[in-house]
A and B are shown apart, each in its own frame.
Chain A
Amino acid sequence: MPIRTDPAPRAIPVAPGQGSVPSAELAPAREMTVPSPVHAPVRPMPTRPDLTAARPAPRRPDPTSARLAVAAGGIATISALLAAIGSAAVPGAVAAAPTIAPAAPLPVQTIVKYVYVQPGAAAPVAPPAAVATVVATPAPRPAPVVVVTRQSGAKP
């Protein structure tokens, strides 16, 4: 069967969005009046980055130190586990726990000061960790006194 062609070109109505050619382009061209942009601020059009341009590669931290730290930690952990397993296998062995030596108490020297009230008393015997300081040795003076302080219940 022979193929026939349409000799006169014509517009083909196409629903909006369905065809590859917008329908407006099919309308006859008309001259349009565009308002002058004198008073409108000129906004620079955003420029889209050129995706094809070569960008510098981001700088990353040197992983060497982190790797070394992780490796050291792993080695330490494995060593501790091996040591614990080995000590547990020995009967009577006690795993050595890290201990902190208790700090020695600071020497506290209490200075006890006193005086001998009566002369002729025995030489002072310093009590442990104390210092006896004889400040004075007043002599008693006999005097008539009407008031006496004494232990409760003592006979005057």
Chain B
Amino acid sequence: MTAAAGQPTSPNVTAGPSMAAAAGTAAAGMTAPTTSLPRAVDRSQAMGGGLGIHVAVARDAHIPAAEVEAARVAARVRTWAGRLTRHDPSSDLMRANADPRGVVPVRPTLAAALRWASDASEMSGGIVDATMLRERLAAEATAPLEPPTFAPPPADPRGWSSALSSRPRSRPQWHLEPSRHRSAILHRDPGTAFDLDGVAKGWIADRALALLDRHPGALVDADGDIAIRTAQGDSWEVSVADPRTPGAGLAVLVLPGGRLGARYGIATSGISIHRWTAPDGERHHLIDPRTGRPAATDIVQATVLAGSASAAEAWAKTAVVLGLVAALDVLDRAPVLGAILLASDGRVLAVPRTTRWLA
């Protein structure tokens, strides 16, 4: 479905008059947007959720052409998602998972996504782990879980270092060997199964945004994980959903453009949506690789603003798994632009530099 922006009757018009005042306080030092470029928007479904492709076009541009391009990018996104989903046995991911061999050739899209999964794991000290499919399926099945791999480490405000050191050594090992035409050879321990749900959406959003480089600005919303490029003089406003109240928001972030354009990524991760009740209590889908079980965390939801959607997704997931104190410590030192955390006691906290972007 496509809808032209910039028209009064369109429900997808991004209103701009309030942005100047907002950016004046939230983005000091950056060009305050005085105008808002017209948008062309395509909304559809992908990856089990909503997919929105927003294109900011020049004022004299042909908006229907931008709508067609947005729809074309959305189709590419669905193709990539179809190769990486764990819900389709015929996807590249699930065929690799079903292959009993330890050495498996993988096609370019899966190879690139796995490379990012490896980078995200390294970046997060092992908290983001794409090899947790069996543990996640066990949590979803609400069957009795296996005992933890080892006792969880005690609460440590230096959770960053403990996250690195307490990683179980039994985690499966794997790596990619480059092959021809951007494909790769996957080397893995026998039985290693991958789940890219925690890293693929942001990565796909970034990849789709790159297809819209010829436009002044663009925004790709992959079911809440968002990649943004803002043109000079323009801005995007993104609301952070409050999971406690449908339709409510915790905050609004204003993301202005710079002289050469500005890149942003926003992602939200949490434990309040995918939850199951098991005989041993509540479970959720974020598995702590240190224990192999749903993370024992006091964060309900974490939203991270970074330079890319893929990085934001990885840091948001890392924050939830680590817990409030360790997350605030880690995010304060991580290369992120801001973060907003909803604690289980209802507090809404943010790392201090987030205030620059708040509306």
Residues of A within 8 A of B (CB): 108, 110, 112-118, 121-122, 124, 127-130, 133, 135-136, 138, 140-141, 143-156
Contacts and interface: CB of A to CB of B under 8 A. Distances in A.
Nearest to A152: B223
Interface string B327-359: 011001000000011000111111110110011
A153 B272 CA distance: 10
A145 to B, nearest CB: 4
Contact of B329 (A112, A136, A138, A155): A112
Interface string B250-277: 1110000000000000111110111000
B281 interface: no
Given A115-B352, A117-B251, A140-B359, A147 B243 contact: no
Contacts of A140: 249, 251-252, 358-359
Q: SS class of chain A's interface: helix, strand, loop or mixed?
A: loop
A118 B340 CA distance: 11
Interface stretch (B44-52, B108-116, B166-174): B44-52
Interface residues of B, number: 64
Contacts of A136: 352, 355
Interface string B85-115: 0000000000000000000000000000000
Contacts of B345: 122
B274 A153 contact: yes
A147 B227 CA distance: 11
B351 A114 contact: yes
A14 B157 CA distance: 111
A117 B349 contact: yes
Nearest to B19: A143
B32 to A, nearest CB: 15
B358 A149 contact: no
A121 B22 CA distance: 23
A105 to B, nearest CB: 11
B69 interface: no
A150 B352 CA distance: 21
